[in-house]
Amino acid sequence: MNKYRTHNCSELRVKNAGENVILSGWVNKKRDHGNLLFVDLRDNYGTTQCIVQKNQPFFEELEKIQLETVVKIIGFVSKRSADTINKEINTGEIEIQIENFELLGSCKELPLPVFTDQEYSEEIRLKYRFLDLRRKKIHSNILLRSKVISFIREEMTKLGFMEFQTPILTSSSPEGARDFLVPSRLNPGKFYALPQAPQQFKQLIMVSGFDKYFQIAPCFRDEDARADRSPGEFYQLDIEMSFVEQEDVFNVVEELLKRVFNKFSNKKFLFNKFPRITFEEAMLKYATDKPDLRNPLQIYDLTNIFLREDVSFEIFKKLVKSGSIVRALVAKNTKDKPRSFFDNFDKWAKSEGGSGLAYFTIEQVEKISAKGPVGKLFSTESIQEIMKITGAKVGDSIFFACNNENDVLQLMSVARDKIAKELDLIDKNSFAFCWIVDYPMYELDNTTKKLKFSHNPFSMPQGNEKDIDFKNPLNMKAYQYDIVCNGIELSSGAIRNHKPDLMYKLFEIAGYDKKDVDKKFGGMINALSFGAPPHGGIAPGIDRIIMLLADEKNIREVTMFPMNQNAQDLMMDAPSEITIEQLKELNLQIKKK
RNA sequence: GGGGGUGUAGCUCAGUUGGUUAGAGCGAUCGCCUGUCACGCGAUAGGUCGCGGGUUCGAGUCCCGUCACUCCCGCCA
């Protein structure tokens, strides 16, 4: 028999009444009635009410015990009387009559309450994460994470995939995020990098003939944090497959995500078959390549309206003439909204650094007209044209923004969310997945004005190799795709370029000559020239999947031991200073400020 | 690197236009209480109002600076 317990704290039922039992756990709560003491004992599985009367010799000792102390309770199970049953917990029909107890782990005065729904500061939560993790919500989030990960492993295995580990110490890559670097003791002056993703390794696994790979892979990127982005490290469900086209990857991922989301959430799927939206279409309709499709609002281009003679909105007309564009959103049935409703959006848009949001409401007394500060600047015919383009009806309002393309898109993307939230148009009980496809191979770097890879440099350009228009690289599309759910980008993926010659050509366009490519990606290119299968894959973010399933907005709520925004672990005190000896051994010197 | 928010007791927060001794709930300590399940009742302790400077007869409150946490932008192929 186990020394510490015969049962866990969620196990005992009426049928156990009369049995002698031993339970161990944390003192979750005490209710002290002076001559009668209730102790709620908690472990990973649940809580059990234990009770002791004053006549027991250890009564006073137990009465004074700190919450969160770990104790072993020895006693017997007794059935509760009907009026004292607690239906909230699954051991609520019984209680333990304590016959003795043993202190297993004492507890100092708590820096934060454990048994409470109260929110408290992240600083204190992260410093005492081991206490924070005892709390119900986050404890169950972490359990959910564990279950999801093992389910994913099972399902991937069923789908014929093999899990392989890839190195954690690897080489720095020139593209992409900032690397975390690790100095090499045996190779003075040289550094390893932690992998931003096992990108090259998973391709090498394909070249090695393993056909279907997956891994719950740690990824390291030294970039600034966001609510949905841990600083430092995160996990991807890394997938790669040989002899596949884009659709084959989609089928696997769609099937897997459906199984996972159906198993771990009651929310419904808005689309049973995930819609495919081209990058171009997404940017036009949603002004972002990670649209929240729960939001029914669409964006329309109204630039041409401002070239019309019968529109006298001179500020916008002037901007349009000098190259600005106009994009609009329709807010249905908003004619009765107060003036403040509209002005607040304009005020908000200005606070976003934009030029504001103009608006009018379509009305019809006899003729169709526009109401609002700029309404009279539009003729009936121009309003009718706007209604044709946008599908707006009498009683709807139009919000529009005019600026250069970048700024308009940025504003409209956020405005679309904000207006939908304000009008309560988003069904919170659903998942809206979609694929974003046909990404451009290259884009212009805003600061350097040079061409760069818009996503992964290893992606395969679309079309027959002979027909690819290398002269107009900005027109080149790639077999590059993203999967998005509820406005959250879960993953990017691509069919890879497995042809070294083509790869050199593509890198040349981005400004890397053959020598650069050989130096930076030599291992990869070399491998591809020894018989590489066509292959492709994807890597959905595990943390974000759990966030969606747990309905959490912050990634730290689904991460056991996260770092804070400044990439510090307040509990372990990382990063920390190291000794002179360690530095010497690594041939490093710290430059003083 | 830039912008916003927050910072008052161990924890969560209140604190009016600048005005006497900075409050509450939870927690802690002590006492009372035999059926609670957020038990109840009474008492006590607990404060560099993040830090530094300034304005003022007087600053938790106003101003300047700074630090910490957080959200966003940049960044994240």
Q: What is the pLDDT of residue A395?
A: 94
Q: Nearest nucleotide to A84 by CA–C1' distance?
A: B35
The candidate with the shortest Cα–Cα distance to A262, out of A433, A138, A437, is A433
Q: Which of A136-145, A253-262, A364-373 has the lowest mean pLDDT?
A: A364-373
Residues with Cβ within 8 Å of residue A319, at least 6 apart in sequence: A402, A403
Mean pLDDT computed over A180-184:
95
The candidate with the shortest Cα–Cα distance to A316, out of A378, A261, A267, is A378
Q: What is the pLDDT of residue A593?
A: 58
Q: What is the pLDDT of residue A338?
A: 86
Q: Which of A46-50, A182-186, A495-499, A570-574 has the lowest mean pLDDT?
A: A570-574
Bridge partners (DSSP) of residue A442 are A453
**SS3 at position A158:** helix
Residue nearest to nucleotide B72 (CA to C1'): A226
- Rounded to 10°, the helix A514-528/A199-207 angle is 40
Residue nearest to nucleotide B69 (CA to C1'): A123
Q: What is the pLDDT of residue A353?
A: 61
CA distances from A38 to A51, A166, A525, A566 (A): 5, 52, 69, 43
**pLDDT 10s digits, A208-239:** 999 999 999 999 999 999 999 998 899 999 99
pLDDT band for position A33 (50/70/90)?
A: very high
DSSP string covering A494-526, please? EEB---HHHHHHHHHHTT--HHHHHHHHHHHHH
pLDDT tops 90 at residue A344: no
User: CA-CA distance, A52 to A44, in Å (whole number)?
Assistant: 23
Q: What is the pLDDT of residue A520?
A: 83
φ/ψ of A212, rounded to 5, equals -135, 115
Mean pLDDT computed over A291-311:
93
Q: Nearest nucleotide to A570 by CA–C1' distance?
A: B69
Q: Nearest nucleotide to A81 by CA–C1' distance?
A: B35
Which two structure tokens, joined as six digits, stand for A288? Answer: 């972002």
In angstroms, the CA of A102 and the C1' of B1 are apart by 56
pLDDT band for position A342 (50/70/90)?
A: confident
Mean pLDDT computed over A391-401:
93
Residue nearest to nucleotide B25 (CA to C1'): A118
Q: Nearest nucleotide to A83 by CA–C1' distance?
A: B35
**pLDDT 10s digits, A533-564:** 999 999 999 999 999 999 999 999 999 999 99
Q: Nearest nucleotide to A458 by CA–C1' distance?
A: B77
Tell me the one-letter amino acid at A199. Answer: Q
In angstroms, the CA of A278 and the C1' of B31 are apart by 73
In angstroms, the CA of A124 and the C1' of B41 are apart by 33
Instruction: Find out whether A358 and A378 touch, Cβ atoms under 8 Å.
Output: no
Instruction: Find out whether A278 and A477 touch, Cβ atoms under 8 Å.
Output: no
Mean pLDDT computed over A269-278:
95
Q: Nearest nucleotide to A34 by CA–C1' distance?
A: B33
Mean pLDDT computed over A504-522:
88
DSSP string covering A414-430, please? HHHHHHHHHTT---TTE
In angstroms, the CA of A410 and the C1' of B19 are apart by 50
Alpha carbon A15 to its chain centroid, in Å, reads 45
Q: What is the pLDDT of residue A18?
A: 96
Q: What is the pLDDT of residue A436?
A: 96
User: CA-CA distance, A590 to A583, in Å (whole number)?
Assistant: 8
pLDDT band for position A354 (50/70/90)?
A: low
In angstroms, the CA of A51 and the C1' of B2 are apart by 59
User: CA-CA distance, A64 to A354, in Å (whole number)?
Assistant: 61
**pLDDT 10s digits, A405-441:** 888 888 888 889 888 988 889 999 999 999 999 999 9
- How far separated are the first and last CA of chain A, in Å rounded? 62
pLDDT tops 80 at residue A506: yes
Residues with Cβ within 8 Å of residue A407, at least 6 apart in sequence: A354, A355
Q: What is the pLDDT of residue A559?
A: 96
Q: Nearest nucleotide to A120 by CA–C1' distance?
A: B12
Burial A130-162 (b: 16+ CB within 10 A, else e): ebbebbeebeebbebbeebbeebbebbeebebe
Mean pLDDT computed over A440-465:
85
pLDDT tops 70 at residue A150: yes
Residues with Cβ within 8 Å of residue A254, at least 6 apart in sequence: A273, A274, A433
Q: What is the pLDDT of residue A104?
A: 95
Q: What is the pLDDT of residue A403?
A: 86
Average pLDDT, chain A: 92
Task: Note the strand B nucleotides within 7 A of protein beta carbons.
Answer: 1, 10-13, 25-30, 32-40, 68-77
In angstroms, the CA of A145 and the C1' of B47 are apart by 41
In angstroms, the CA of A67 and the C1' of B46 are apart by 20
User: CA-CA distance, A9 to A90, in Å (whole number)?
Assistant: 10
